[in-house]
């Protein structure tokens, strides 16, 4: 109750502030903000909902699209002269960003919406932007037709009728490390011992490892695959956009954990000249309004906890994504500070190359 | 009787030869036919991403959906290929003239230097230029990767040998006595060159320019290292297209590229003729 | 002539030499620094990266896969392309121009577009697999993904048009009168091929095979898009190591090994061909 009053007050205050400044001049007159993010639907959503507001303040947004890995490579390549102001960062990359010391410390008072985030999802360097739930996405009709039992664990994907008809994330893809972590923990391994996970991946007999999430959508449609390890968002889009009758299974990891969660973050670059605008952008991204739209359109899980209820009203989201906080708390979250990523990649390459 | 079997044998031989060649052609051209066909699919209810071939319906819907990024990339590729092709000619034509006409010692070595980019694997060229630009950047503070300079240098590097190759090939067959005759009849050497030599080697220059254009226009392994945000060539842009959503608009923009290539060829056919393109041996590079 | 043509050589030679020397020097030099990850390198020159590559069965296997797929693609290009080139070169009708145009267009389209076409063609619900399943030639769909066959098919689409153009210019240099003469003397078609066209075109064919092989060794797109993370070739490995793992020195090392392998294979083939000629096993 108290919270909502406070929110309302904050909202009124912000509105007043915005309108007054708009009268005088745009808050971001002449500012060009460079945002490092994914392209496609993901970017379009931001253009529609956030950029328009930024432009109303007199600013301009330019997108630098690419996977977080590619964007990080660009920062390294530019020797710290980052080609953006604000950038999406995967949980697995946080360590590298700190090691290179390229982040700008945040002023959380400029990002008031952090209030709706769980405390673990913001700190003085980074603010959480989304979560994903890594699932097994499978084709309901084809499984029923061919009498393949619905999987409940990753191991269930080792099935003669699934041989050569499933996809798994490539280690270099956005879902690569989380995917490998999922199978590893499910098979009794941990951050320092991924051998059990690699063995299971080898047993699976995948058609190919996806490097880009869109491949899952395309290959469900072409009939090449009937199951894929991806995050729930791609499964939702495969159903919504490609019209395939797919749904998700949150794989059982062990006696306690069911499902795998992965985290996305936003950071502001140290050399950014538009740090204030960058933080404004982050604040908009985690606003209830945007997070809800993002969740329903792309199937990602919001970090803004105030929108969970509204999300549940969307039937597809309710079907494919776990929203019960207790269950969400029971999902596997990898502690990437314990992971030596180059080792994982190297072991993966050796195990997987034909 | 013997005559008939001979005829029959010949006919059967021809049939299988024709069949074999048809299979080669089907193999070669089918991806492009499929790309064009797929781009014509219309949006169907609930199935937004539709990749059926032959297309279910005829529509230009996906042509209206081509993402801005792909159009920008296409424009960049076009500019870049033009620059690479022009610079390739500026370097390649004098190089070929010098190689064929002069008697400098170490011609074989010089020719090997011009030919080197053809021998270096493309991906090696990409990473070599990237490292070079890092190095220059660390020294001067100006990083060339991801700029038009960087991309153009990389593409000029891989494209120039084709111009050298085509012009060399045509010069070797050129009868220098023509020029001499012109000079004897009172033309200055310069005039003889521009009036006699240049027109003769022009088909070689056109062919070389076209090859250079196309090498740049279709390159992935070099540009993938030298592109940067907001500065991506078309092949690299669509290479990463699956990173986002796989939509038939991809096929639509690819069809546009196929059409551009066809138009260019038509132009070539009008200006120098397709066979001239081959007779100068441009595809052989310098070798 | 009275013009000093060598002057013309100077500017292109300076540019060409600078680009070749500078890029190769800087990148080869980079391969001799210890790789500290995240784009950072050590201060001292070491040969550790090379030792690591050459003593590691995994890298050597990738080198082998690269050579194997490139060689297969080059050979298949020859087998599929030679008859087509012969047909176009010997045809005396306006059709030859149209056939030629088809080849040239395919050469000029970027391989990425062709690979997307291949993906549609060879999809499980696609035209090829549905036809094959219907006829009963296959009992399960063939996929171009994640196997070497798919990668070789992709590479062939990269090189076939180019190969045909090369072969065309080679066949054109063989006078048709030679063939006619042989036929008049009673040689059948096959014999003409075997005794005249094949030996006469052998040097050109070798050059074409090497050129196509070199193209494949440096090709990245087909293996990256069709290999499906299962088939690793050196170009794919280089891209992964440089762009994803951000290990510049190691990437440079692998690139250097690739470059040296290509040069060795080329020199070796040329040497072998010379020996064959010297032994008069091959006419020319």
| CATH 3.40.190.10 domain range(s) in chain A | 2-129+264-312, 132-261+330-348
The shortest C-alpha distance from A283 to chain C (Å) reads 29
Q: Checking phi first, is residue A106 left (phi over 0); if not, alpha (psi -120 to 50) or beta? A: beta
Q: What is the model's pTM?
A: 0.88
Per the CB < 8 A criterion, the answer to whether B127 and C242 are in contact is: yes
| Contact residues, chain C, for A76 at CB < 8 Å | 38-39, 246
Nearest to B124 among C160, C215, C259 (CB): C259
The pLDDT value given to residue C8: 86
Residue B69 backbone phi and psi in degrees, to 5: -55, -40
Residue B54: asked if its preceding bond is cis (omega within 30°), the reply is yes
Which two structure tokens, joined as six digits, stand for B265? 């060829």
Per the CB < 8 A criterion, the answer to whether C266 and B119 are in contact is: yes
Beta bridge partner(s), residue A90 = A264
The span from the CA of C100 to the CA of B279, in Å, is: 12
CATH 3.90.420.10 fits A2-129+264-312, yes or no: no
CATH code of the domain containing B239: 1.10.3720.10
Nearest to C165 among B118, B125, B278 (CB): B278
CATH 3.40.50.300 fits A132-261+330-348, yes or no: no
Question: Which chains are within 8 Å of A by 3+ CB pairs?
Answer: B, C
| Contact residues, chain B, for C126 at CB < 8 Å | 53
Residue B203 located in a structural domain: yes
| Contact residues, chain C, for B101 at CB < 8 Å | 1, 3, 5, 8
Which two structure tokens, joined as six digits, stand for B197? 């030599």
The pLDDT value given to residue A255: 93
The span from the CA of B65 to the CA of B252, in Å, is: 9
Q: What is the count of structural domains for chain B? A: 1
| Contact residues, chain A, for B232 at CB < 8 Å | none
Task: List the single residue in A with minimal CA-CA distance to C240.
Answer: A172
How many alpha carbons fall within 13 Å on the CB side of residue C280?
Answer: 0
**Average model confidence (pLDDT) across chain A:** 90
CA distances from B64 to A169, A240, B68, C69, C81 (A): 32, 21, 10, 39, 38
Cβ neighbours for A38, distance < 8 A, ≥ 6 positions apart: A65, A66, A67, A88, B243, B244
> Roughly how many angstroms between the first and final C-alpha of chain A, as a whole number?
59
| Contact residues, chain A, for C144 at CB < 8 Å | none
The shortest C-alpha distance from A30 to chain C (Å) reads 33
Residue B6 located in a structural domain: no
3-state secondary structure of A32: strand
Domain that holds residue B199: 68-284
For residue range A202-235, list pLDDT tens digits in order: 999 999 999 888 889 888 988 899 999 999 999 9
| Contact residues, chain A, for B243 at CB < 8 Å | 38-40, 66-67, 212-214
Question: Which chains are within 8 Å of C by 3+ CB pairs?
Answer: A, B
> Roughly how many angstroms between the first and final C-alpha of chain B, as a whole number?
50
B140 close to A (CB below 8 A):
no
Contact across the interface for B123 and C5, Cβ inside 8 Å: no
3-state secondary structure of B187: coil
Per the CB < 8 A criterion, the answer to whether A68 and A267 are in contact is: no
Output DSSP code: residue A330: T
Residue B91 located in a structural domain: yes
Mean pLDDT over residues A285-297, rounded?
Answer: 95
Residue B176 located in a structural domain: yes
Contact across the interface for A212 and B243, Cβ inside 8 Å: yes
Give the number of beta-carbon pairs within 8 Å between B and C: 276
Per the CB < 8 A criterion, the answer to whether A73 and B224 are in contact is: no
Per the CB < 8 A criterion, the answer to whether A183 and A166 are in contact is: no
Contact across the interface for A243 and B46, Cβ inside 8 Å: yes
The pLDDT value given to residue B50: 66
**The pLDDT of residue A120 is above 60:** yes
Output DSSP code: residue A82: -
Q: How many other β-carbons are positioned within 10 Å of the β-carbon of residue B68?
A: 7
Q: How many other β-carbons are positioned within 10 Å of the β-carbon of residue C275?
A: 11
The pLDDT value given to residue B48: 55
The span from the CA of B80 to the CA of B82, in Å, is: 5
| Contact residues, chain B, for A242 at CB < 8 Å | 47-49
Q: Is the ipTM of this complex over 0.90?
A: no
Residue C43 belongs to what H/E stretch? strand C40-45
**The pLDDT of residue A292 is above 90:** yes
* Alpha helix segments (H runs only) across C136-247: 148-171, 176-184, 189-192, 198-218, 221-226, 234-239
Contact across the interface for B278 and C218, Cβ inside 8 Å: no
The span from the CA of A243 to the CA of A254, in Å, is: 33
Q: How many other β-carbons are positioned within 10 Å of the β-carbon of residue B270?
A: 8
Cβ neighbours for B124, distance < 8 A, ≥ 6 positions apart: C27, C218, C238, C255, C256, C258, C259
Which two structure tokens, joined as six digits, stand for A271? 């050399």
How many alpha carbons fall within 13 Å on the CB side of residue B251?
Answer: 30
The span from the CA of A219 to the CA of A240, in Å, is: 15
The span from the CA of B164 to the CA of A49, in Å, is: 53
The span from the CA of B218 to the CA of B234, in Å, is: 8
The span from the CA of B253 to the CA of C84, in Å, is: 30
Residue C219 backbone phi and psi in degrees, to 5: -80, 145
- Which residue reads 């090392």 in tokens? C253
The pLDDT value given to residue A4: 54
B49 close to A (CB below 8 A):
yes
**The pLDDT of residue A185 is above 80:** yes
CA nearest B215: which of B256, B160, B169, B257? B160
The shortest C-alpha distance from A50 to chain B (Å) reads 19
Nearest to A172 among C37, C61, C240 (CB): C240
CA distances from A18 to A5, A25, A57 (A): 20, 10, 9
The span from the CA of A327 to the CA of B51, in Å, is: 38
Which domains are delineated in chain C?
A: 41-278 (1.10.3720.10)
The pLDDT value given to residue B49: 57
Cβ neighbours for A249, distance < 8 A, ≥ 6 positions apart: A135, A136, A138, A150, A151, A152
Per the CB < 8 A criterion, the answer to whether A73 and C243 are in contact is: yes
B243 close to A (CB below 8 A):
yes
In tens digits, chain B (287 residues) has pLDDT values of 556 677 888 888 889 999 999 999 999 999 999 999 988 888 765 555 567 778 877 888 889 888 888 899 999 999 999 999 999 999 999 999 998 888 888 888 888 889 889 888 998 899 899 889 888 888 888 888 778 899 999 999 999 999 998 888 888 877 777 777 877 888 787 788 788 888 888 888 988 898 899 899 999 999 988 887 678 899 998 888 766 666 788 889 999 999 988 898 888 888 877 777 666 654 444 33
The pLDDT value given to residue B283: 44
The span from the CA of A339 to the CA of A337, in Å, is: 6
The pLDDT value given to residue C2: 52
**The pLDDT of residue A5 is above 80:** no
The pLDDT value given to residue B279: 65
Q: pLDDT below 70 — which residues of chain C?
A: 1-3, 279-284
Confidence label for A71 from pLDDT (cuts 50, 70 and 90): confident
Which two structure tokens, joined as six digits, stand for C36? 């500290």
CA nearest C165: which of C77, C239, C33? C77
Residue A5 backbone phi and psi in degrees, to 5: -65, -45
3-state secondary structure of A33: strand
């Amino acid at each position: 109750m108290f919270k909502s009053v406070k929110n309302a007050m904050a909202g009124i205050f912000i509105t007043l502030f915005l309108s007054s400044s708009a009268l005088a001049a745009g808050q971001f007159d002449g500012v060009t903000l460079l945002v490092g993010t994914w392209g496609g639907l993901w970017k379009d959503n931001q253009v529609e909902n956030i950029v328009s507001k930024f432009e109303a303040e007199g600013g301009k947004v330019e997108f630098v699209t690419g996977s977080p890995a590619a964007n990080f490579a660009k920062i390294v390549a530019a020797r710290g002269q980052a080609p953006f102001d604000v950038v999406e960062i995967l949980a697995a990359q946080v360590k590298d960003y700190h090691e290179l010391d390229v982040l700008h410390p945040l002023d959380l008072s400029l990002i008031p919406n952090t209030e709706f985030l769980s405390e673990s999802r913001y700190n003085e360097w980074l603010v959480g932007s989304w979560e994903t739930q890594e699932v097994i996405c499978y084709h309901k009709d084809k499984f029923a037709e061919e009498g393949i039992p619905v999987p409940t664990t990753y191991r269930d994907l080792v099935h003669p009728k699934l041989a050569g008809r499933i996809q798994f994330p490539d280690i270099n893809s956005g879902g690569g490390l989380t995917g490998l972590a999922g199978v590893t923990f499910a098979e009794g391994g941990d951050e320092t011992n991924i051998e059990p996970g690699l063995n299971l991946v080898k047993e699976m007999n995948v058609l190919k490892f996806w490097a880009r999430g869109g491949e899952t959508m395309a290959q469900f449609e072409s009939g090449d695959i009937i199951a894929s390890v991806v995050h729930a968002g791609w499964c939702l889009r495969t159903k919504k956009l490609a019209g395939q009758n797919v749904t998700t299974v949150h794989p059982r990891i062990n006696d306690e954990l069911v499902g795998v969660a992965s985290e996305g973050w936003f950071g502001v670059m140290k050399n950014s000249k538009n740090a204030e605008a960058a933080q404004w952008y982050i604040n908009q991204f985690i606003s209830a309004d945007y997070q809800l739209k993002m969740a329903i359109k792309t199937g990602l899980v919001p970090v803004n906890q105030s929108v969970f209820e509204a999300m549940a009203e969307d039937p597809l989201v309710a079907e494919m994504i776990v929203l019960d906080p207790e269950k969400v708390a029971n999902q596997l979250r990898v502690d990437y500070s314990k992971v030596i990523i180059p080792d994982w990649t190297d072991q993966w390459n050796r195990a997987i190359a034909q | 009787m013997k005559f008939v079997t001979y005829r029959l044998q010949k006919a059967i031989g021809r049939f299988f030869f024709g069949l074999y060649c048809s299979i080669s052609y089907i193999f070669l051209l089918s991806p492009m036919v499929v790309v064009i066909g797929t781009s014509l699919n219309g949006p169907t209810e609930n199935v937004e991403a539709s990749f059926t071939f032959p297309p279910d319906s005829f529509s230009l819907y996906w042509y209206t959906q081509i993402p801005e990024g792909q159009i920008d990339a296409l424009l960049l590729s076009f500019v870049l290929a033009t620059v690479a092709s022009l610079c390739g000619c500026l370097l390649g034509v004098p190089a070929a003239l010098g190689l064929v006409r002069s008697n400098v010692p170490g011609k074989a070595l010089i020719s090997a230097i011009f030919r080197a980019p053809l021998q270096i694997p493309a991906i090696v060229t990409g990473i070599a230029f990237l490292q070079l630009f890092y190095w220059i950047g660390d020294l001067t503070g100006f990083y060339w990767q991801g700029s038009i300079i960087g991309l153009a240098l990389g593409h000029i590097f891989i494209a120039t040998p084709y111009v050298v190759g085509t012009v060399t090939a045509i010069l070797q067959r050129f009868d220098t006595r023509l020029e001499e005759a012109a000079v004897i009849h009172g033309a200055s050497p310069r005039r003889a060159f521009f009036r006699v030599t240049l027109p003769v080697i022009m088909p070689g220059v056109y062919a070389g320019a076209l090859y250079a254009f196309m090498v740049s226009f279709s390159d992935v392994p070099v540009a993938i290292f030298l592109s940067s945000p907001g500065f991506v060539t078309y092949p690299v842009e669509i290479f990463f297209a699956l990173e986002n959503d796989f939509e038939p608009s991809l096929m639509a923009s690819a069809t546009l590229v196929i059409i551009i290539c066809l138009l260019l060829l038509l132009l070539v056919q009008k200006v120098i003729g397709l066979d001239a393109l081959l007779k100068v041996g441009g595809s052989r590079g310098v070798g | 002539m009275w013009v000093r043509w060598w002057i013309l050589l100077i500017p292109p030679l300076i540019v060409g030499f600078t680009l070749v020397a500078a890029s190769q020097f800087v990148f080869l030099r980079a391969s001799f620094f210890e790789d500290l990850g995240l784009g950072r390198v050590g201060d001292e020159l070491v040969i550790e990266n090379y030792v690591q590559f050459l003593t590691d069965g995994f890298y050597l296997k990738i080198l082998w896969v690269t050579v194997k797929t490139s060689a297969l693609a080059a050979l298949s290009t020859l087998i599929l392309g030679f008859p087509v080139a012969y047909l176009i070169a010997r045809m005396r009708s306006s059709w030859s121009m149209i056939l030629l145009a088809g080849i040239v267009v395919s050469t000029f389209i970027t391989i990425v577009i062709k690979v997307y076409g291949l993906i549609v063609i060879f999809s499980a619900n696609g035209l090829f697999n549905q036809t094959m399943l219907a006829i009963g030639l296959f009992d399960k769909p063939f996929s171009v993904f994640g196997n070497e066959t798919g990668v070789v098919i992709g590479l062939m689409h990269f090189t076939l048009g180019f190969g045909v153009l090369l072969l065309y210019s080679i066949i054109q240099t063989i006078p048709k009168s030679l063939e006619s003469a042989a036929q008049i003397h009673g040689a059948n078609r096959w014999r003409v091929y075997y005794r005249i066209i094949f030996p006469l075109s052998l040097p050109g064919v070798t050059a074409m095979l090497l050129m196509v092989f070199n193209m494949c060794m440096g090709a990245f797109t087909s293996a990256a898009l069709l290999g499906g993370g299962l088939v690793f070739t050196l170009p794919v490995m280089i891209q992964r190591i440089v762009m994803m793992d951000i290990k510049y020195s190691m990437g440079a090392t692998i690139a250097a090994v690739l470059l040296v392998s290509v040069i060795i294979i080329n020199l070796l083939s040329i040497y072998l061909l010379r020996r064959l000629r010297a032994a008069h096993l091959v006419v020319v």
